[in-house]
Amino acid sequence: MKMLRVDMARQQATWEPVPPVYERLGGRALIARILLEEVPATSEPLGPANKLILAPGLLGGTAATCSGRLSAGGKSPLTGGVKEANAGGNAGGDLGRLGIRGVIVEGQAPPGELYVLHVSADRAELVPAHELRGLGTYATAEALKARWGAHCTVICIGPAGERRLAAAGIAVTGEGRQNSRHAARGGLGALMGSRGLKAVVLDARGAPVVPLAEPELFRRASRRFARELIESPKTGKKGSSHLYGTASIVSAVNELGALPTRNFREGRFEQAENLRGETNREITLSRGGEMGTRCMPGCVIACSNVFVDPTGKPIVATLQYETIGLLGSNLGLGTLDDVAELNYLCNDLGLDTIEIGAALGVAAEAGLARFGDKEGFAALIHEIARDTVLGRTLGQGVVVTGRVLGVSRVPACKGQGMPAYDPRALKGNGVTYATSPMGADHTAGNAFGARNEVAPLAIEGHPALTRRLQLGAAMLDATGLCLFARPPVWADPQLMVDLINGCYGWGWTVEDLDRFCRQILRDELEFNRRAGFTAAHDRLPEFMMCEPLPPHNAVFDVPQDDLHAALAGL
């Protein structure tokens, strides 16, 4: 394994051996450590000292199913703290097969210059890319594949990232039609744009198979891992994940009363039925779209879809739960066609649908659009495309939008907009949002899947639960595993240990794995501490502590002191 260090100021890409301090780290774990070692925590996120890190997880590139997620990271332009966001698609697997532990993009290209980083098995170079300026993510990927070959994987930003908007994410190409996956959260697209880097093209053709230290151990574990996923009633071919995708939970979240509706005013949406995964399947298949597709090779779950318009033309792949919650019910929009249209606009500009959905909800609260009026919201996204002051405000995310428009009902933690679970009706997620070093994040420790373990409306029990979930999420994010693939490795961590030992021969125990996960959160919390975060920042917005959420009329009332238990003494 090696590292690729990219100096944007000098336009040099240099291979280097993995330094001892970064050994045995991957994905999110590697990002946290690099930030601690190399980026002053108080530096300006868009200034010269910040670094963009792209890294596969420890299992990236191996034959382990669902292990090819790409982690992107840096000091967040949105939160000012540590940030890792990951995406499916082909990039994580490609980097793993190319033997690259991480790409560290540092410094800034001279003002006005724009580059593409091309990486293949034997070389890495920065290529001027002025012709891509202002292009959307779809056109950028198309142009780069036309130039470098359709087999290449493209990691890129849209105009939002070029303009350094804090709601900008990073898009990654994957399998199938229209496929666009996003490391969306935390403004990492703005960080990439601020380096002067428009895209990374990965050509893994001719890359050798990832070497395995203990091939038998790995193959046995890998086969068991896949088999358990295939045989599971949830993730197997008859499971809801495969049949209905992430949107399979719309009904359940709505039933729970936690579906963000009209800027988090209600927890149930009267048109939720139309937004369900089941409805998506029906519509999509009847129009010639696709359900049960994969975002990365070798995935045995295949939870994706290609949403098409009534004429069969692909709009987005894949239409996901969080997007449906934030761009759908949160805006009072009750058709998947409306959601898909806004989703496409965000994807193409390279914007996080969660952050923008939250910002649009706040804009509607301020009277700039009507809940339920898709045209109004599309017009607001076009303001972002046109780079107007209003558009720039929205593009900076929900907190800046609330500040500028004078709205105090701002659903965010540590500067990041909330995903599609109102924490008043699912208090475990409130604890995660408040305490995660990432800010409000649905992948950092989502209590929805554990709603039968701790009552979502109870005051007690959430901190211990989310501590476990946050550690489990860190494990997935550091190994490159998809959240949907968690059940086998969470149920039996020895399986994960076997995968890692099979690959690397480190002789880890379950205790080593646990230490590894705790160290990730410790590193992240330490970076945030240095950046100026304290327990005072571990909190939900004030309105959620006093404004009851229908239908349960619950407020978020987990005592502030209890929250701190979640990640204490890691």
Which CB sits closer to its own copies, 164 or 182?
164
d(CA 168, CA 323): 15
Rounded to 5°, angle at Cα 264 from 541 and 555: 55
Q: How far lies 463's CA from each of 7, 445, 450, in Å?
A: 42, 11, 13
Nearest residue (CB) to its own copies, 165 versus 503: 165
CB of 242 to its own copies, least distance (A): 42
Residue number with CB closer to its own copies (42 or 553): 42
Q: Which stretch binds its own copies (CB under 8 A): 46-54, 96-104, 438-446, 497-505?
A: 46-54
Q: Answer yes or no whether residue 460 interacts with its own copies by CB under 8 A.
A: no
Q: Which residues contact 340 (CB under 8 A, 6 or more apart)?
A: 307, 309, 315, 316, 319
CB within 8 A of 534, min separation 6: which ones? none
> How far apart (Å, rounded) are the C-alpha atoms in residues 563 and 569?
13
Applying CB under 8 A, the span of 139-147, 169-177, 395-403, 501-509 interacting with its own copies comes to: 395-403
Q: Does 311 bind its own copies (CB under 8 A)?
A: no
Site for its own copies contains 75 (CB under 8 A): no
Among 405, 412, 517, 567, binds its own copies (CB under 8 A): 405
Instruction: Give the closest residue to 84 by CA, choosing from 170, 16, 24, 7.
Output: 170
Interaction of residue 166 with its own copies, rule CB under 8 A: yes
End-to-end CA distance of the chain: 29
Q: Does 377 bind its own copies (CB under 8 A)?
A: no
Q: What's the min distance (Å) between Cβ of 384 and its own copies? A: 12
Distance between CA atoms of 266 and 388, rounded to whole angstroms?
Answer: 31
400 binds its own copies (CB under 8 A): yes
Asked if 384 is part of the footprint of its own copies (rule: CB under 8 A), the reply reads no
Report d(CA 317, CA 77) in Å as an integer.
27
Kindly state the number of chain residues that form the binding site for its own copies, as judged by CB under 8 A: 34
Of 57-65, 91-99, 319-327, 388-396, which part binds its own copies (CB under 8 A)? 388-396
Helix (H) or strand (E) holding 560, with range, is helix 560-563
551 lies in the binding site for its own copies (CB under 8 A): no
Nearer to its own copies, 40 or 215 (CB): 40
Window contacting its own copies (CB under 8 A); options: 7-15, 91-99, 222-230, 384-392: 384-392
Can you tell me which of 28, 118, 427, 539 binds its own copies, judged by CB under 8 A?
A: 539
Candidates 393, 430, 401; CA nearest to 543 is 430
Stretch that binds its own copies, among 85-93, 160-168, 180-188, 257-265 (CB under 8 A): 160-168
Residues recorded for the chain = 570
> Per rule CB under 8 A, is residue 41 in the interface with its own copies?
yes
Q: Which of 262, 287, 530, 552 binds its own copies (CB under 8 A)?
A: 530
Taking CB under 8 A as the rule, does residue 406 contact its own copies? yes
What are the structure tokens assigned to 446, written together? 């989502």
| Contact between 396 and its own copies per CB under 8 A | yes
The bridge status of strand 100-106 relative to strand 51-56 is antiparallel
- Give 393 or 466: the residue with its C-beta nearer to its own copies: 393
Q: Which is nearer to its own copies, 364 or 405 (CB)?
A: 405
User: The tokens of 334 are what?
Assistant: 């009750």
534 sits near its own copies (criterion: CB under 8 A)? yes
Per 3-state DSSP, what percentage of the chain is helix, strand, and coil (rounded to 5)?
A: 45, 15, 40
Q: Of 506 and 543, which CB lies nearer to its own copies in the complex structure?
A: 543
With beta carbons less than 8 A apart as the criterion, state whether 117 and 6 touch.
yes
Distances (CA, A) of 75 to 160, 188, 438, 489, 494: 18, 8, 10, 29, 33
**Enclosing H/E stretch for 72:** strand 70-75
* Min CB(409)–its own copies separation in Å: 10
Instruction: Tell me the C-alpha distance between 494 and 476, whole Å.
Output: 14
Q: How far is the CB of 369 from its own copies (least distance, A)?
A: 13
540 touching its own copies, by CB under 8 A? no
Question: Residue 46, interface with its own copies (CB under 8 A)?
Answer: yes
Which residue, 165 or 291, has its beta carbon nearer to its own copies?
A: 165
Would you count residue 536 as binding its own copies (CB under 8 A)? Answer: yes
List own/partner pairs for 34-39 with CB under 8 A and 24 or more apart. Answer: 34/73, 34/102, 34/104, 35/73, 35/74, 35/75, 35/82, 35/523, 35/527, 36/523, 36/526, 36/527, 38/104, 38/106, 39/74, 39/75
Measured from the CB atom, the residue of 268 and 392 that comes closer to its own copies is: 392
Does the protein bind its own copies through residue 42 (CB under 8 A)? yes
Per CB under 8 A, residues contacting its own copies are 41-44, 46-47, 49, 163-166, 389-390, 392-393, 396, 400, 403-406, 408, 529-534, 536-537, 539, 541-543
